[in-house]
Amino acid sequence: MSSMESSYLPATTESIAKAQEAKDASESISILYRVLQDPSSSAEALRTKELAITNLTNYLTKENRAEELRNLLTQLRPFFSLIPKAKTAKIVRGIIDAVAKIPGTSELQISLCKEMVEWTRAEKRTFLRQRVEARLAALLLENQEYTEALTLLTGLIKEVRRLDDKLLLVDIDLLESKLHFSLRNLPKAKASLTAARTAANAIYVPPAQQGTIDLQSGILHAEEKDYKTAYSYFFEAFEAFSALEDPKAIFSLKYMLLCKIMVNQADDVAGIISSKAGLKYLGPDVDAMKAVADAYSKRSLKYFETALRDYKSQLEEDPIVHRHLSSLYDTLLEQNLCRLIEPYSRVEIAHIAEMIELPVDHVEKKLSQMILDKKFAGTLDQGAGCLIIFEDPKTEAIFPATLETISNVGKVVDSLYMRSAKIMA
């Protein structure tokens, strides 16, 4: 579809109605392009053109014409000089959001944002530039281009703090927190989140943004193994997103269930899922967490591995769930191995592997790691393919008691020395 037709249509409500009554989307798009070509710049014509842009954006999004949306932004630049800056900002952000709805356009979105940043800088439209830069940083973060995103955010934060634009500051601080978390820099991630909370406390924050703050808080608490606090934050986020019917609600619910499993309350998972709020989100994500909870309740590594295999995209491809489940799997494996080797002083590794239903090399590697971590005393005889378990060396109680007595005597002597020094003075 070429962008703008040669003959224009007058920018009137009749032309907009004509576009809506057209027999297909392509015809509607063609009519709306012609409306935008009307040279009239009267107040009525400008209002009609704004409506035409909104309708055209919706049609192009439905037709998945991302490249045309990008071209539309370029073609509208002369029009932007005729309307207030606030309306320009609304249209630009609306078109960028529309491109984001089209799947597989992350690279296009990044280049589009970079183009708009250059244009806004040349036009000295600071308010819009800062918001497009924040959007660009979020896209770079999704694309795992962390260095570029961090450089962009560092400069942007300083600029926005000077202007004291609290609402934008909350967004940017949250982005910075997510970025530092992705780079595994937990102290900086927490500091950025605290800054976001501080800015949010001073203004009215939309429920969706408050939900995002709570979600990030939960993720950081879970990373510190404080699963009870994390659960309460995830619950707050889930309620906010659920009320807005935001797709992030399913992630909040998933992380809530994860926290229950991590604090050894896997039996509560079924109750949460069957609650009124949980039933709305039944699907692969919830089924995946239910499978993990069942495996954990039964202390079965076989079921655990089956769940990981059957729900790979829901569990392993979600970095937050994957990280916690890895440590849970290790704990479960260690508990099972300790229980199995307890009756033996010497046992074949193949026999343990058979009982635990895991490959021999996997079991051997884990046993050697447990010996090095001093989880039990023993050694691996690889020639014979056996594990030799030693008796736990019993520590004599007299030695710690003697050390404690010597320590106490030392304190008494120090105290007497201080007193005598005071008397002598």
Check residue 189 and give its pLDDT: 94
Tokens standing for 59?
A: 């049609």
Tokens standing for 207?
A: 């429920």
User: How far is CA 419 from each of CA 407, 411, 412, rounded to the nearest angstrom?
Assistant: 19, 13, 11
Pair 233, 258: CB distance under 8 Å: no
CA distance 324 to 246: 25
N-term to C-term CA, the chain: 99
Listed in sequence order, the residues at least 6 apart from 71 whose beta carbon sits closer than 8 Å to its beta carbon are 3
Tokens standing for 402?
A: 């003697």
Listed in sequence order, the residues at least 6 apart from 134 whose beta carbon sits closer than 8 Å to its beta carbon are 156, 168, 171, 172, 175
CA distance 341 to 324: 26
Check residue 2 and give its pLDDT: 41
Mind listing the pLDDT tens digit of every residue in the chain (425 residues)? 344 444 778 888 888 888 888 878 888 888 888 888 888 888 888 899 899 999 999 988 998 888 999 999 889 988 898 889 889 999 999 999 999 888 888 899 999 999 999 999 999 999 999 999 999 999 999 888 999 999 999 999 999 988 888 889 999 999 999 999 999 899 999 999 999 999 999 899 899 999 999 999 999 999 998 999 999 999 999 999 999 888 889 999 999 999 998 888 888 888 888 888 888 888 888 898 999 888 888 877 888 888 888 888 888 888 888 888 888 888 888 888 888 888 888 888 888 888 887 888 888 888 888 888 888 888 888 888 888 888 766 666 787 888 889 999 999 998 888 888 888 86
Check residue 425 and give its pLDDT: 67
Check residue 1 and give its pLDDT: 39
> In the 3-class helix/strand/coil scheme, how is the chain assigned residue by residue?
CCCCCCCCCCCCHHHHHHHHHCCCHHHHHHHHHHHHCCCCCCHHHHHHHHHHHHHHHHHHHHCCCHHHHHHHHHHCHHHHCCCCHHHHHHHHHHHHHHHHCCCCCHHHHHHHHHHHHHHHHHHCCHHHHHHHHHHHHHHHHHCCCHHHHHHHHHHHHHHHHHHCCHHHHHHHHHHHHHHHHHCCCHHHHHHHHHHHHHHHHCCCCCHHHHHHHHHHHHHHHHHCCCHHHHHHHHHHHHHHHHHHCCCHHHHHHHHHHHHHHHCCCCCHHHHHHCCHHHHCCCCHHHHHHHHHHHHHHCCCHHHHHHHHHHCHHHHCCCHHHHHHHHHHHHHHHHHHHHHHHCCCCEEEHHHHHHHHCCCHHHHHHHHHHHHHCCCCCEEEECCCCEEEECCCCCCCCHHHHHHHHHHHHHHHHHHHHHHHHHHHC
CA distance 234 to 212: 10
Helix 207-223 and helix 248-262: axis angle, to 10°?
Answer: 30
Residue type, 37: Q
Q: Is the dihedral of CA 160, 163, 168, 173 positive or negative?
A: positive
Instruction: Classify residue 297 as exposed, middle or buried by CB count within 10 Å of its CB (0-12, 13-18, 19+).
Output: middle
